[in-house]
Structure 1
Amino acid sequence: MSDPTDSRTDSLGRTSDWSGVRVVVAGFGVSGFAAADNLLFLGATVTALDESSSEEKAEKAQLLETLGATVRLEPGATAVLPDEVDLVVTSPGWKPTAPLLAQASERGVPVWGEVELAWRLRDPVTAAPWLAVTGTNGKTTTVQMLESILRAAGLRAVAVGNVGLPIVEAVMDPEPYDVLAVELSSFQLHYTHSMSAEAAAVLNLAEDHLDWYDGPDGMRDYAADKARIYERVQRACVYNLADPATQEMVREADVLEGARAVGFTLGTPSSGDVGLVEDLLVDRAFIEERASSAAELCTLADLASPAPHFVANALAAAALARAHGVSQQAVRDGLRAFRPDGHRIAHVAEADGVTWVDDSKATNPHAAQSSLAAFEPVVWVAGGLAKGARFDDLVVAVRDRLRGVVLLGRDRQVVADALSRHAPDVPVIDVGDDQTGDPMERVVDAAAGLARSGDTVLLAPGCASMDMFTHYGARGDAFAAAVHRRIARQT
């Protein structure tokens, strides 16, 4: 990738003179529009390019063109980088090998992501600290928990980044925020060069997005992008004591003087960490007496779910909030008030002693394993787009709690092969990927045939949904609707 500190752009920021700076915005989704809109406001010359259009995009394009931008939304629009360009701002999903970005690299044109742009556009007088979160799984839940805690402390805070408000919009808001809870994907971090979070957390690391990181060193490159979140951290690097990869990231990070490493654990925490003591979430990191005592943050009963991965997310959110100076009471009140979005270990129904749970958001094997660890015995509903992931480790970890498995989706055979190798005695029903009729009706009927009283039927596919559904939410909705229809037929 090209040098992000090109002489024409290396000093650009909120108070810079952007007139005459020629910027290409690659991608015209939510973050692309926010970047283009605010760059126009600052006086830059903006060209926005995207390979597709929609009614919403067309309306936004018309608005920006009225303000002076050039917008092209059509197949082939991103094939060639314009001749006169000083900076490319890319949407996070774009690979560095995309033609537009590859041409920028060849010509020495800097490539920033929206996160890099947002960091540079902070007001030097009123800039809000960033509390940043990444990881393979749990990012959105953790950032939303963090937002709830910060607001319980009376702070003007908002969840931004990979969830919620685009970061550029947050930093350009005329009414400054006190603090930002920032969710960052590996894609976003890949194009981030100068961010210095007040505190940052990597929740976990597991195989994911290997279709994006598709080279021979794909997993290493994925991890390296996640680790960028710790660079230049000011106060605390929060990591997962159960995941050595996150600890290694902290060890290798180039942080600011005074920054501390703070682990979170589902066990009893050591001095300097946060964790559990019986049913209490406790802090031994941000209290003066941490060598000999712990401060109670909340109880397990205060949380919306006792599932292990949910508790781990709460501990990470609490650690970030405490790094910012939030009180124990605000942590408790914020976690007590928080309820997760839909399709995250969501209770659907209970009938004939069988509990039905929708965790359609579990779109990779690591997320599915975390979800499966919360239930036993379980009928597991899995399959979809595997994105290059493997399921062997997952099956080995959960096979003793499986009553049976129902498979659907394009890459279901990847899951079936892992089950055949490591859990050959577990019953498997393959309902295919035929979308005639209602595929979830077939899934629910098959799962009901496997389940016994006391079991949980868990939709935790371990795969993306776009082979059969528009998004994971639609998949979860279809599952819940099919469950309710089945129960209604039987009553």
Structure 2
Amino acid sequence: MTAVDFKDLPVVVAGLGISGISAARVLRDLGARVTVVDGGDGEGLRARAASLGADLTVRLGDGDTLPEGTRLIVTSPGWPPNSPLFLAAEQAGVPVWGDVELAWQLRRPLPETGEPAPWLAVTGTNGKTTTVQMLASILTAAGRRTAAVGNVGVSVLDAVLAEQPYEVLAVELSSYQLHWAPSLRPHSAAVLNLAPDHLDWHGSMAAYAADKGRIYQGNQVACVYNLADPATEELVIEADVEEGCRAIGFGLGAPGLSQFGVVDGLLVDRAFVPDRQKNAAEIGAVEDVNPPAPHNIANALAAAALARAYGVDTKAVREGLRAFRPDAHRIAEVAVVGEVTYIDDSKATNTHAAAASLAAYEPVVWIAGGLAKGATFDELVRGAAKRLRAAVLIGADRALIKEALARHAPDVPVIEAAQGETGAVAMTEVVRAAAGLARPGDTVLLAPACASMDMFTNYGQRGDFFAEAVRALQD
């Protein structure tokens, strides 16, 4: 489908991570002359460079200089727009693509239709992975050849180049990826929510929102937005879509026209039904959603809206939601010890995700802290104050949360744990402190509202150590 002839095209791939290596190999196979650049240098990077073979050029320790003659840059998602390499590219008139743009350009027509597989795309500050996996489960229940791709499951490049082509793709897209995907035009797309995140990369909330809003550009059938988050509807209003594309809202109340919602414990579609002025269709029940926390029900409604926009019937929506199982570290019950429930939501790495998690439980002993990434915590604490039994704070930016608790929940006991410790040792201390504060009927909730890398390898390791420490309480 691409109009670009990659034969002998001088292309720079920025970043020697997983997506960079994948892009470099694909471009090499297309005949491009590929140079991979990375500002880092070390044994691990050199091993990755060696794995690419001798027919690619790899330049380590210098990710800033634009190689002479470059005609295209394909960047890994993490490289910020103000990187010297991209500023030099802008001055030289060299386009910059992300891996998603490259994949979009390389789509191939399906034998059945003569058109590429449609993309049903999802973005948002939180809930993207869960929603995309729910969507893929629904599409699978409908008998479609599909995959959850992007930041989850199969890489988007691998998906579009798969030997056995997919009929439809459920695509998770980050704001980074959307920033570098100027040609993307999904069949239908959803923005789940918007809250401050990655502002150090984007430079401002307005720039972050604008990049999220790119997902609606050129939508063909439906722009799905969150009724509880007016900023998502604003992005729909501002989008340039194809004639006939509809705005479809989702929320936890009874649905209005062209909306998905909840009525008496049932999930309801009042958008893709005949005579929606008078009719609605049952597409499932709250009990079909695992787990049935409010924010997860909203995720299910967004996934259902995208599936219905694609033409999936109501039976497949229900079957797909019932078959779905969430990833580890996402509001996962670890154990009940001494009548206290321990919940691992280590994936709640920002304030918006933590707020959704806190809203699902009461009373809560809250384990929070880590790397704040520029976030503030007043709104989060103010909203959750009445649910808090106590708080156990960890990590580099714990003081920010402690100060917010002092302002908005001064009567909530606070313990600062694991000062100077990391890894399993730290989490064992944290869990014991939380257990000492909890009463029968309480929930100890790991929903840190922060990134993990100051104390743990990643949020997964943080959650694993939490689960291990909880299980040790049972011994």
TM-score by structure 2 length? Answer: 0.96
Residue correspondence of structure 1 range 31-180 to structure 2 within 5 A = 31-52=19-40, 58=46, 61-66=49-54, 68-72=55-59, 74=60, 76-124=61-109, 125-180=114-169
Asked if structure 2 preserves the Cα contact closer than 8 Å seen for 1:170 and 1:177, the reply is yes
Q: Please state whether the residue corresponding to 1:212 is helix, strand or coil.
A: helix
Per the alignment, residue 442 of structure 2 pairs with 455
Q: CA deviation at 1:435?
A: 1.4
Asked if structure 2 preserves the Cα contact closer than 8 Å seen for 1:32 and 1:90, the reply is yes
Q: Could you give the per-residue CA deviations for residues 200-252 of structure 1, whole angstroms, max 9, x where no partner exists? A: 000000011122233xxx11111111001001111000000000000110011
Question: 1:423 aligned to 402, 409, 427, which one?
Answer: 409
Q: CA deviation at 1:325?
A: 0.4
CA distance in 1, matches of 2:142, 2:45: 38
Q: CA deviation at 1:306?
A: 1.2
Q: Please state whether the residue corresponding to 2:199 is helix, strand or coil.
A: coil
Q: Please state whether the residue corresponding to 1:405 is helix, strand or coil.
A: strand
Identical-residue share of aligned pairs (%): 61
Q: Could you give the per-residue CA deviations for residues 324-360 of structure 1, whole angstroms, max 9, x where no partner exists? A: 1011111111110000000000001101110000000
Per the alignment, residue 401 of structure 1 pairs with 387
CA distance in 1, matches of 2:44, 2:325: 30
Q: CA deviation at 1:63?
A: 4.5
Per the alignment, residue 286 of structure 1 pairs with 272
The answer to whether the aligner puts 1:25 opposite 2:10 as a matched pair is: no
The answer to whether the aligner puts 1:274 opposite 2:260 as a matched pair is: yes
Runs ≥4 in structure 1, deviation > 4 angstroms?
53-60
Q: Could you give the per-residue CA deviations for residues 405-446 of structure 1, whole angstroms, max 9, x where no partner exists? A: 100000011111111111111111111541168111221111
CA distance in 2, matches of 1:281, 1:54: 52
CA distance in 2, matches of 1:209, 1:82: 29
Per the alignment, residue 186 of structure 2 pairs with 197
What are structure 2's unaligned runs of at least 5 residues? none
The answer to whether the aligner puts 1:413 opposite 2:399 as a matched pair is: yes
CA distance in 1, matches of 2:460, 2:51: 30
CA distance in 2, matches of 1:364, 1:427: 22
Question: 2:199 aligned to 210, 214, 220, which one?
Answer: 210
CA distance in 2, matches of 1:16, 1:313: 37
Q: CA deviation at 1:117?
A: 1.0
CA distance in 2, matches of 1:57, 1:309: 39
Per the alignment, residue 432 of structure 2 pairs with 445
Q: CA deviation at 1:487?
A: 2.2
Asked if structure 2 preserves the Cα contact closer than 8 Å seen for 1:410 and 1:433, the reply is no
Q: Please state whether the residue corresponding to 1:115 is helix, strand or coil.
A: helix
Q: CA deviation at 1:464?
A: 0.3
Q: CA deviation at 1:64?
A: 3.0
Q: CA deviation at 1:172?
A: 1.3
Q: CA deviation at 1:289?
A: 2.7
Q: Could you give the per-residue CA deviations for residues 50-97 of structure 1, whole angstroms, max 9, x where no partner exists? A: 23467776555334334x21123x3x2313111110000011111111
Asked if structure 1 preserves the Cα contact closer than 8 Å seen for 2:225 and 2:249, the reply is yes
CA distance in 1, matches of 2:281, 2:333: 32
CA distance in 2, matches of 1:59, 1:323: 45
Per the alignment, residue 10 of structure 1 pairs with none
Q: Please state whether the residue corresponding to 2:469 is helix, strand or coil.
A: helix
Q: Could you give the per-residue CA deviations for residues 124-157 of structure 1, whole angstroms, max 9, x where no partner exists? A: 4341000000000000000011111111111110
Q: CA deviation at 1:274?
A: 0.5
What are structure 1's unaligned runs of at least 5 residues? 1-12
Residue correspondence of structure 1 range 303-452 to structure 2 within 5 A = 303-435=289-421, 438-452=425-439
The answer to whether the aligner puts 1:234 opposite 2:223 as a matched pair is: no
* Counterpart residue identity of residue 49, structure 1: V
Q: CA deviation at 1:32?
A: 1.2
Per the alignment, residue 265 of structure 1 pairs with 251
Per the alignment, residue 284 of structure 2 pairs with 298
Q: Please state whether the residue corresponding to 2:101 is helix, strand or coil.
A: helix
Asked if structure 1 preserves the Cα contact closer than 8 Å seen for 2:418 and 2:430, the reply is no
CA distance in 1, matches of 2:44, 2:171: 26
Q: Which moved more, 1:77-86 or 1:450-459?
A: 77-86
* Counterpart residue identity of residue 150, structure 1: L
Asked if structure 1 preserves the Cα contact closer than 8 Å seen for 2:16 and 2:36, the reply is yes
Q: Could you give the per-residue CA deviations for residues 435-464 of structure 1, whole angstroms, max 9, x where no partner exists? A: 168111221111111111110000000000
CA distance in 2, matches of 1:256, 1:126: 17
* Counterpart residue identity of residue 426, structure 1: V
TM-score by structure 1 length? Answer: 0.93
Q: Which moved more, 1:52-61 or 1:224-233?
A: 52-61
CA distance in 1, matches of 2:155, 2:83: 23
CA distance in 2, matches of 1:307, 1:342: 16
Asked if structure 2 preserves the Cα contact closer than 8 Å seen for 1:227 and 1:253, the reply is yes
Residue correspondence of structure 1 range 471-486 to structure 2 within 5 A = 471-486=458-473
Task: Give the paired residue count.
Answer: 470
Q: CA deviation at 1:20?
A: 2.4
Asked if structure 1 preserves the Cα contact closer than 8 Å seen for 2:81 and 2:201, the reply is no
Per the alignment, residue 6 of structure 1 pairs with none
Asked if structure 2 preserves the Cα contact closer than 8 Å seen for 1:126 and 1:176, the reply is no
Q: CA deviation at 1:112?
A: 0.7
Change (3 A) 1:55 1:300: farther
Q: Please state whether the residue corresponding to 1:441 is helix, strand or coil.
A: helix
Asked if structure 2 preserves the Cα contact closer than 8 Å seen for 1:160 and 1:166, the reply is yes
CA RMSD of aligned residues (A): 1.5
Change (3 A) 1:339 1:54: farther
Q: Which moved more, 1:263-272 or 1:122-131?
A: 122-131
